[in-house]
């Protein structure tokens, strides 16, 4: 299938989404979904109330990120973004690989004209435009584009043995989806430069130590996924208005200086006095009750 056709492919349905019933083990849900999903490269499910789970599912290629996978991933992300029942999204892979990078076999024969005219991998950054928080749960390899995809998420959780890296230098190229920028922002110039110029890897344990990951878990994908789902469920239990505003102001800190960022935060803070949920939240506190959010 040509890249051009992939980008114009009709939307796939997410009709297989599990219902939002009592919490279940994430792995149970993933198994349940695998028989029903109309996607071929990902699995989608709702393992916790308010939480959308997307599992990259190309096990034979270590979840290499093909164009077709990205069409499906972006469709699933958009469906969760549009779904009023969903408050947070978790993106994960398998024990062995979150994603071993862009699909090298798909990329290898590309000419400049094909890449340029068809806007090869342009859809990669769609995930960064979402307003709902996305948590990456990384186990195994997160290399090249896999590392970049994980870093595009709002919170990164990993296993202690996860394997992060930007090995593009070994392929005669460089990171192409923000790796040089986001890795440098997370690790500092010297460490990021060392990793990108040598193609060396960083363990999950080191990723946590250097601030690339918020938390590194003992165990495998099951454990890191449970941690990510717990956090996602907690976020989804809050006012959507406040969550979106909080994500927006934190992200602004990446683009603005401290003074402008603080002013920006204050404007958004002021505007939240216009939301119903600010009234609901503060009234509930004063009355020692649990707030029931309107999400308005």
- Give the residue numbers annotated as catalytic, written as ranges: 102, 145, 148, 168
Least distance to ligand DAK from the beta carbon of 70, Å? Answer: 10
Nearer to ligand DAK, 128 or 237 (CB): 128
CB of residue 148 vs ligand DAK: minimum separation in angstroms? 6
- What would the DSSP string read from start to end of 21-59? -S---HHHHHHHHHHH-S-SSEEEEEEETTEEEEEE--G
> In this complex, which beta carbon is closest to ligand DAK, that of residue 62 or of residue 156?
62
- Decide whether 106 or 265 has the Cβ nearer to ligand DAK: 106
The piece of 32-40, 86-94, 137-145, 211-219 that touches ligand DAK (CB under 6 A) is 137-145
Please identify which residue in 29, 53, 76, 100 interacts with ligand DAK, judged by CB under 6 A. Answer: 100
| Min CB(39)–ligand DAK separation in Å | 19
- Please identify which residue in 102, 127, 192, 233 interacts with ligand DAK, judged by CB under 6 A: 102
From the list 124, 157, 164, 217, which residue makes contact with ligand DAK (rule: CB under 6 A)? Answer: 124
Q: How far apart are CA 179 and CA 171, in angstroms?
A: 15
Retrieve residue 123's tokens.
Answer: 């859809």
Q: How, if at all, do strands 163-165 and 201-203 pair?
A: antiparallel
Binding region for ligand DAK (CB under 6 A) out of 2-10, 23-31, 75-83, 164-172: 164-172
Task: Count residues near ligand DAK (CB under 6 A).
Answer: 21
Q: Write the interaction track for ligand DAK spanning residues 48-77; mark x where CB under 6 A is met and - where it is not.
A: -------------xx-x-------------
Report d(CA 212, CA 225) in Å as an integer. Answer: 17
Residue 249 burial by CB count (10 A; 0-12/13-18/19+): exposed, middle or buried?
middle
- CA 180/CA 178 separation, integer angstroms: 6
Closest CA to 75 of 104, 33, 32, 40: 40
Determine, following the binding rule CB under 6 A, whether residue 152 of this chain makes contact with ligand DAK: no
Q: What residue ranges bind ligand DAK (CB under 6 A)?
A: 61-62, 64, 100-105, 120-121, 124, 141, 143-145, 167-168, 171, 176-177
């Amino acid at each position: 299938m040509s890249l051009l056709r992939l980008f114009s492919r009709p939307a796939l349905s997410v009709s297989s989404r599990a219902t939002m019933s009592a919490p279940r083990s994430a792995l149970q849900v993933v198994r349940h979904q695998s028989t029903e999903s109309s996607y071929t490269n990902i699995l989608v499910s709702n393992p916790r109330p308010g939480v959308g789970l997307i599992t990259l599912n190309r096990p034979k290629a270590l979840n290499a990120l093909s164009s077709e996978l990205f069409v499906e991933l972006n469709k699933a992300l958009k469906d969760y973004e549009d779904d009023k029942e969903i408050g947070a999204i978790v993106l994960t892979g398998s024990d062995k690989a979150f994603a071993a990078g862009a699909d090298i076999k798909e990329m290898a024969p590309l000419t400049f004209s094909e890449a340029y005219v068809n806007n090869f991998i342009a859809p990669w950054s769609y995930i960064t435009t979402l307003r709902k928080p996305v948590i990456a749960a990384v186990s195994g390899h997160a290399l090249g584009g896999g590392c970049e995809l994980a870093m595009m998420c709002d919170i990164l959780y990993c296993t202690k043995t996860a394997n992060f890296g930007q090995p593009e230098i070994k392929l005669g190229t460089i990171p192409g989806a923000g790796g040089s920028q986001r890795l440098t922002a997370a690790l500092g110039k010297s460490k990021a430069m060392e990793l990108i110029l040598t193609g060396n890897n960083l363990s999950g344990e080191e990723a946590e130590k250097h601030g690339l990951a918020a938390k590194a878990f003992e165990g495998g994908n099951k454990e890191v996924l449970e941690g990510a789902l717990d956090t996602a469920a907690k976020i989804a239990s809050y006012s959507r208005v406040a969550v979106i505003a909080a994500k927006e102001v934190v992200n602004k800190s990446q683009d603005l200086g401290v003074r402008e960022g603080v002013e920006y935060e204050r404007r958004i803070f002021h505007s939240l006095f216009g939301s119903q949920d600010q009234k609901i939240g503060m009234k509930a506190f004063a009355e020692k009750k649990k707030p029931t959010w309107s999400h308005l």
